[in-house]
Amino acid sequence: MKTLLLKKEEVSRLINMQEVIDSVEEAYKAFNSGQVEQPDYLGIHLPSPRGEIDFKLCYFSENEMISMKSSSGGFNDNPTAYGVPSGMGTILLFDARTGGLACVMDGSLITGLRTGAAGAVSVKLLARKDARKITSIGTGNQARMQIRAINEVMKIQEIHAWDSSPESLAKYKSDIEREFGTPVKAAKSKQEAVEQADILVTTTRGKGSLVEAAWVRPGTHIVAIGTDQKGKQELDPEIFRNAKIVNDSLSQCTEKGETWHPLNKNIITRNDIHAEIGEILLGKKLGREDEEEITIFDSTGMAIQDNATASKIYQNAVEQGLGTYFAFFEK
Ligand SMILES: NC(=O)c1ccc[n+]([C@@H]2O[C@H](COP(=O)([O-])OP(=O)(O)OC[C@H]3O[C@@H](n4cnc5c(N)ncnc54)[C@H](O)[C@@H]3O)[C@@H](O)[C@H]2O)c1
């Protein structure tokens, strides 16, 4: 039995952002069409200075692929002590017809790609059509991926950015201006940045409210990325009170996403959650309905996004003859 091995550099050549956006749309629709089996993910937390490693598993009946993604993070001594990154990722794709291992690929790029694409899909459905200004609260890896993906679906005129680390903010400004030629204004305060936003993207590792309700203008679309685990928070729960709330997965967002906070404070009930994003893509629920509403897309990240994206990379590799085959056994 043959298994295809794809290295990081090959993975990066095998997919472009538009294909990732298409794959993530397919993933969200599949999730709301009963085509996905996605157990809770597993994690092992190791004592400092080591970090954690998570395993996300998913079966997608449409493509008959079972995916498992491992992602590690927070191994902060890695670069100096071992000469490897502090976080790494691997994806295994199994052929669901046989249970055999079809592909092993580096997974360190996929999380960022599919998370950026998630934001872009939400912008297509929920941002105002005349939206031009993006505010980035948080200027790390995911902030960059959001700009790369949103740039595919709208014309970004200017970016306002804030981060608790001035070094991170300065590097983001120079990187984004070099990559896209879009001006980035480094804001002196969070409030100054948020008040400019047509689209507000939050991608920090924050564990408390960073964005106050009073700063958010009517008509803003919020892409809430950072809160993907219990204990994390980026938004004032009051922002949810009269907003149109969209989740990637209701069960995940109400348990460990940004949506948990207003539920916990009784600012909203589960009935106030408008939709899962796949329902809007399938035409079962409406996206933005007027220019004034504040929309919130709460993304916690789903294994089906990894599955659909990795399966597309695998398909492209087979078509283009890229990668190296190996066999654990001959027959
Ligand atoms: N929703 C999803 O699917 C998904 C996917 C991947 C990552 N994430 C989450 O997104 C977040 C960001 O990931 P990343 O890879 O960009 O991380 P990163 O470390 O590259 O960047 C985080 C940025 O936030 C800033 N920051 C950290 N804590 C802050 C705070 N309390 N207040 C203000 N700024 C703060 C840092 O200075 C840094 O610039 C993480 O919480 C991560 O778990 C979510």
How are beta strands 221-224 and 199-202 bridged, if at all?
Answer: parallel
Could you tell me if residue 331 is inside a domain?
no
Looking at the structure, tell me whether residues 30 and 57 fall in a common domain.
yes
Looking at the structure, tell me whether residues 285 and 136 fall in a common domain.
yes
Is the model's pLDDT at 18 over the cut of 90?
A: yes
- Residues in contact with 181: Cβ distance below 8 Å, sequence separation at least 6, in sequence order: none
Looking at the structure, tell me whether residues 152 and 230 fall in a common domain.
yes
Is the model's pLDDT at 304 over the cut of 90?
A: yes
Round the average pLDDT of the chain to a whole number and report it.
97
How are beta strands 52-60 and 295-298 bridged, if at all?
Answer: unpaired
User: What mean pLDDT is predicted for residues 130-148?
Assistant: 97
Could you tell me if residue 190 is inside a domain?
yes
Could you tell me if residue 262 is inside a domain?
yes
User: What mean pLDDT is predicted for residues 117-139?
Assistant: 98
Looking at the structure, tell me whether residues 280 and 136 fall in a common domain.
yes
Predicted local distance difference test score (pLDDT) of residue 331: 78
Taking the centre of ligand 1 as the mean of its atom positions, its distance from the CA of residue 284, in whole angstroms, is 32
173-214: pLDDT as tens digits? 999 999 999 999 999 999 999 999 999 999 999 999 999 999
Taking the centre of ligand 1 as the mean of its atom positions, its distance from the CA of residue 116, in whole angstroms, is 13
Looking at the structure, tell me whether residues 259 and 270 fall in a common domain.
yes
User: What mean pLDDT is predicted for residues 48-61?
Assistant: 95
Q: Report which protein residue has its CA nearest ligand 1's atom 31.
A: 206
Ligand 1 nearest-atom number relative to CA 206: 31
Q: What is the CATH number of the domain that holds 74?
A: 3.30.1780.10
241-287: pLDDT as tens digits? 999 999 999 999 999 999 999 999 999 999 999 999 999 999 999 99
Looking at the structure, tell me whether residues 169 and 217 fall in a common domain.
yes
User: What mean pLDDT is predicted for residues 53-57?
Assistant: 96
- Structural domain of 128: 115-301
Q: Report which protein residue has its CA nearest ligand 1's atom 42.
A: 226
Predicted local distance difference test score (pLDDT) of residue 127: 98
Could you tell me if residue 171 is inside a domain?
yes
Predicted local distance difference test score (pLDDT) of residue 281: 98
Taking the centre of ligand 1 as the mean of its atom positions, its distance from the CA of residue 204, in whole angstroms, is 3
User: What mean pLDDT is predicted for residues 117-137?
Assistant: 98
Looking at the structure, tell me whether residues 284 and 145 fall in a common domain.
yes
pTM for this model (two decimals): 0.97
Predicted local distance difference test score (pLDDT) of residue 41: 87
User: Which residues, judged by CB distance below 6 Å to any ligand atom, belong to the binding site of ligand 1?
Assistant: 111, 115, 138-143, 163-165, 168, 203-206, 210, 225-226, 228, 232, 299-301
**Using omega within 30 degrees of 0 as the cis cutoff, is the peptide bond preceding 183 cis?**
no
How many structural domains does the chain have? 2
Pocket test for ligand 1, best of 203, 207, 246, 299 (most atoms within 8 A of CB): 203
Ordered DSSP codes for 44-95: EE--TTS-EEEEEEEEETTTTEEEEEEEEE--TTIIIIISS-S--EEEEEEE
Looking at the structure, tell me whether residues 7 and 30 fall in a common domain.
yes
Share of the chain above pLDDT 90, in %: 98
The candidate with the shortest Cα–Cα distance to 38, out of 319, 318, 269, 303, is: 303
**Confidence tier at 6 by pLDDT (50, 70, 90):** very high
Taking the centre of ligand 1 as the mean of its atom positions, its distance from the CA of residue 27, in whole angstroms, is 23
Could you tell me if residue 26 is inside a domain?
yes
Looking at the structure, tell me whether residues 152 and 277 fall in a common domain.
yes
Q: What is the CATH number of the domain that holds 141?
A: 3.40.50.720
The phi and psi torsions of 172 (rounded to 5 degrees) equal: -60, -45
Q: Report which protein residue has its CA nearest ligand 1's atom 10.
A: 226
